[in-house]
Amino acid sequence: MQIINAGAEMNLIADQWRRAGHAVGLVPTMGCLHAGHLSLVKLARAAADKIILSVFVNPTQFGPNEDFKQYPRNFERDAALCRDAGVDAVFHPAPPESMYAADHSVWVREDRMSRGLCGASRPGHFTGVLTVVAKLFNITRADVAVFGQKDAQQARLIRRMARDLHCAARIMIAPIVREPDGLAMSSRNAYLAPAERRDALCLMRALQLARRLYREGERDAGRICRSMVEQIQQTPSARIDYAEIVDEATLEPVETMERPILIALAVRIGQTRLIDNLLLPDDRLCNLPPAAQP
């Protein structure tokens, strides 16, 4: 496995692979890898011959009061996990400034699907994400790129960018990987104190409640949202950032749940902002466990 710091070198190696007839797969990450990230590698492996995993804590997707500085970093451990997972190259841009010229002035901005959900509570976040992913696409010219359903809005925005900017990469979306108790895996779970770790299950439980109500025939999005909010509010440390039901394809809010929809939650547990989501009626990508019997 190669570890590559320079974009130009990464570009050259990926080019050699392609000339040799290999399909190149890309898995972009911010490091601090867990089983969720490794499941993306596995999916990429099934679709491509050479796998590049990028590790880059992208400064432009963090707001001024967000956790860019504290974001967990452990490159040695990440590299070892990548080696075990059969990654061919880890792209670890260094120094970090090499990804952004001091006077950089070009951004990729999406104007429709990025307005709601995390886009509303994290202004500029998705411009940072799309810009860095466009850079990674240009550096690697990947044939396939894999993103997680965990970040449902992000994955759909990247699909939209790939379509609208004619990116060569085919975008694949991988199912949410969860801890045994159902908490969606996230590098930010490391911030949670033990009591907060227990409280964090309120997101999953609210989604389970929404799924139960839906399966019982409820189709009124407002009523399901209110039930989720009431349930989350029973956890005193939880502060809801948003709880919304949107059209799965357009991410526009819906009133009735007649088409495929996405239920998306962002909740702060103490200082830690967590997200989770559920697709209905086909919830396979979300791996939400069955609700415990009362």
Smaller CB separation from ligand AMP, 40 or 262: 40
| Interface with ligand AMP, residue 278, by CB under 6 A | no
Specify burial of residue 150 (Cβ count, 10 A radius: 0-12, 13-18, 19+): buried
d(CA 162, CA 130): 10
DSSP state of 253: B
Per rule CB under 6 A, count of chain residues that contact ligand AMP = 17
Q: How many CA atoms lie within 13 A of 99 on its CB side?
A: 27
| Interface with ligand AMP, residue 269, by CB under 6 A | no
DSSP 97-149: GGGS-TT-------SSTTSSHHHHHSTTHHHHHHHHHHHHHHHH--SEEEEEG
C-alpha closest to that of 142 among 169, 166, 171, 163: 169
CB under 6 A: which stretch of 34-42, 104-112, 163-171, 266-274 binds ligand AMP?
34-42
Smaller CB separation from ligand AMP, 68 or 213: 68
Closest contact distance (angstroms) between CB of 97 and ligand AMP is 20
Using an 8 Å Cβ cutoff, are 31 and 73 in contact?
Answer: yes
Smaller CB separation from ligand AMP, 83 or 259: 83
Question: What is the footprint of ligand AMP within residues 11-30 (CB under 6 A)?
Answer: 29-30
Closest contact distance (angstroms) between CB of 37 and ligand AMP is 5
Question: What is the footprint of ligand AMP within residues 169-228 (CB under 6 A)?
Answer: 174, 176-177, 184-187
Catalytic residue annotation: 37
d(CA 151, CA 185): 11
d(CA 249, CA 43): 22
Q: Which residue is nearest to ligand AMP (CB)?
A: 148
Binding-site member from 36, 93, 119, 182 for ligand AMP (CB under 6 A): 36
Closest contact distance (angstroms) between CB of 184 and ligand AMP is 5
Using an 8 Å Cβ cutoff, are 133 and 97 in contact?
Answer: no
Question: What is the footprint of ligand AMP within residues 133-172 (CB under 6 A)?
Answer: 147-148, 150-151
| Interface with ligand AMP, residue 37, by CB under 6 A | yes
Question: What is the footprint of ligand AMP within residues 79-138 (CB under 6 A)?
Answer: none
Closest contact distance (angstroms) between CB of 79 and ligand AMP is 15
Residues 6 or more apart in contact with residue 36 via CB below 8 angstroms: 148, 150, 176, 177, 184, 185, 186
SS3 at position 249: coil
Smaller CB separation from ligand AMP, 59 or 229: 59
Closest contact distance (angstroms) between CB of 197 and ligand AMP is 15
Closest contact distance (angstroms) between CB of 151 and ligand AMP is 4
Using an 8 Å Cβ cutoff, are 14 and 133 in contact?
Answer: no
What is the arrangement of strands in the sheet containing 238-247, beginning at the earlier edge strand?
238-247, 261-269, 272-280
C-alpha closest to that of 237 among 273, 206, 204: 273
List residues binding ligand AMP (CB under 6 A). 29-30, 36-37, 39-40, 147-148, 150-151, 174, 176-177, 184-187
